[in-house]
């Protein structure tokens, strides 16, 4: 049975929340009086469906059900999580809470997307203030993992724990802000940079494009993977943070910033900045810019996944949860029907797997099949613990047939058979599908080796027994079409 989330306010942030819940298998109920709400959320969902599955190396759950409701009271019926994303007016938020608390479950978590208000301000005048916390996301909500979770002393430890668990299960990173403050943590940094940028434009020192280049070509990349303090710790060299602070501390007294002095928002300044921004990126529509942004974010976060670092580590942990929830086989003892091919890969095609023809490039077929072989190794007992003892499999030969093409976002599965396993050799057959369409096959010969001698060595008894069980059970299947075929051989 699906969990249910209610989204109150369907703008950019509310639509992003709807996508994050929906694509993680939740049913989503939306209330927004805007007559264009369904169209706007639909467009956000189109972007999310295109990009969000590419963050994962396993398939996302079956998408939940999306419904739109005429009243807030109707939308919150049965919801375990209620996300408020209405405009930043405190009196409006208070009115919303009074209305929805009259009809929502007393155990539901009510999260606010507010970027500035403290939770104590939101809880003021609420019927049940203990339900309300700040859960401040970052755009696009369906890609970026950070959530600033800000409670007060009125929120129970149980509610905070439930909120953290829900956000983590959505593939997000709940940053528990233990002392409330206006604008929380991240937006205070953004505000400081924004103020300085306004002065640089107003004083004619830099254009909007030059400021953006300074960020994205330099410290923005460093911040994306290491943050502020770790970046400066490294900048201090072997002496570390103390050396950095001693060396650059005096700069804090120099007139390098106008941080506390904000230029007046005159029509002239607004026109200047808007004009420069139009010249910088006006050739793209907003939807095109969103897709460019999403492609870049997915590609960067996937690079971090390979290093299991920062946002990438969050996504790797989410993949483990998704695989477990989808019932992917982790060990031979989990196989319910060994007579059939084993599903070893279930995932979507991400943006960095495409080539210049717009379909999955040939090297990524090998990538997916290699992942399938790795999963089969884990299933038979050749996991990281086993490899640490000095045994593993090396691939000796591979033959891939490319039968059909597949594109961005397509859900692919690899089904694996053990054709032979004896002595030191394992013969695998993989078939890749998108739905019922066969995309490719791969035939692999792997040799078990000693990592100490780097020479062939016999399987362990556990691996030998698991391989024998699978191979024997699958021996009744017809020989796969194409097995043993060499390059150029007639079909």
Alpha-carbon separation of residue 30 from 38, 71, 104, 134, 335 (angstroms): 9, 9, 14, 19, 40
**φ and ψ at 78, to 5 degrees?**
75, 5
Q: Reading across the β-sheet that carries 27-31, which strands appear in turn?
A: 66-68, 27-31, 4-8, 81-84, 109-112, 132-136, 146-150, 173-176
Q: Kindly state the tokens that stand for 149.
A: 């979770």
Bridge-based pairing of strands 27-31 and 4-8 is parallel
**C-alpha span between 467 and 429 (Å, rounded):** 14
Determine the length of the chain: 491
Phi, psi of 110 (to 5 degrees): -110, 110
Q: Is 10 annotated as a binding residue?
A: yes
Question: Binding site annotation covers 292?
Answer: no
Spatial contact of 133 and 119, defined as CB atoms under 8 Å apart: yes
9 is in an annotated binding site: yes
Alpha carbon of 476 to those of 190, 340, 472: distances in Å? 63, 9, 8
- Indicate the SS3 state at residue 82: strand
Kindly give, in sequence order, each residue whose CB lies less than 8 Å from that of residue 409, ignoring residues fewer than 6 positions away. Answer: 49, 50, 53, 54, 348, 349
390 is in an annotated binding site: no
Binding-site positions for NAD(+): 9-14
Binding-site positions: 9-14
């Amino acid at each position: 049975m699906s969990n249910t989330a209610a989204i109150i306010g369907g703008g950019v942030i509310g639509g992003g929340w709807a996508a994050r819940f929906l694509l993680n298998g939740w049913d989503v109920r939306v209330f927004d009086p805007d007559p264009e709400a369904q169209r706007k959320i639909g467009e956000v969902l189109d972007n999310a469906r295109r990009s969000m599955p590419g963050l994962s190396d396993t398939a996302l759950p079956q998408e939940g059900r999306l419904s739109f409701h005429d009243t807030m009271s109707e939308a919150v019926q049965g919801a375990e999580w209620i996300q408020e994303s209405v405009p930043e007016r405190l009196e409006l938020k208070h009115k919303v809470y009074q209305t929805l608390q009259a009809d929502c479950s007393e155990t539901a978590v009510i999260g606010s997307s507010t970027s500035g208000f403290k939770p104590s301000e939101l809880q003021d005048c609420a019927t049940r203030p203990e339900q309300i916390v700040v859960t401040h996301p970052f755009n696009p909500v369906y890609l970026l993992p950070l959530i600033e979770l800000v409670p007060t002393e009125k929120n129970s430890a149980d509610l905070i724990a439930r909120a953290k668990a829900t956000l983590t299960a959505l593939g997000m990173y709940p940053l528990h802000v233990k002392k409330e403050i206006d604008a929380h943590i991240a937006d205070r940094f953004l505000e400081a940079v924004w103020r300085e940028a306004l002065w640089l434009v107003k004083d004619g020192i830099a254009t909007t494009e030059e400021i953006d280049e300074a960020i994205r070509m330099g410290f923005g990349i460093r911040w994306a993977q290491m943050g502020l303090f770790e970046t400066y710790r490294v900048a201090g060299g072997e002496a570390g943070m103390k050396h950095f602070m001693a060396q650059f501390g005096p700069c804090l007294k120099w007139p390098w910033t106008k941080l506390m002095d904000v230029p007046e928002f005159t029509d002239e300044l607004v026109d200047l900045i808007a004009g420069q921004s139009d010249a910088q990126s006006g050739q793209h529509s907003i939807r095109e810019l969103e897709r460019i942004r999403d492609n870049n974010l997915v590609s960067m976060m996937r690079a971090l996944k390979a290093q299991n670092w920062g946002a990438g580590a969050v996504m790797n942990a989410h993949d483990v949860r998704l695989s477990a929830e989808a019932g992917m086989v982790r060990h031979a003892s989990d196989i319910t029907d060994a007579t059939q091919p084993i599903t070893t890969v279930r995932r979507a095609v991400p943006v960095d797997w495409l080539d210049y023809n717009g379909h999955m490039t040939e090297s990524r077929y090998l990538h997916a099949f290699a992942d399938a072989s790795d999963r089969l190794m884990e299933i038979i007992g050749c996991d990281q613990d086993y490899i640490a003892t000095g045994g593993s499999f090396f691939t000796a030969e591979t033959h891939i047939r490319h039968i059909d093409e597949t594109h961005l976002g397509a859900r692919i599965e690899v089904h694996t058979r053990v054709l032979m396993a004896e002595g030191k050799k394992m013969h695998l057959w993989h078939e890749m599908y998108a739905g019922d369409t066969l995309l490719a096959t791969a035939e692999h010969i792997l040799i078990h080796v000693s990592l100490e001698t780097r020479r062939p060595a016999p399987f362990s008894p556990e691996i030998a027994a698991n391989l024998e069980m699978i191979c024997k059970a699958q021996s009744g299947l017809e020989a796969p079409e194409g097995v043993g075929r060499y390059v150029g051989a007639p079909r």
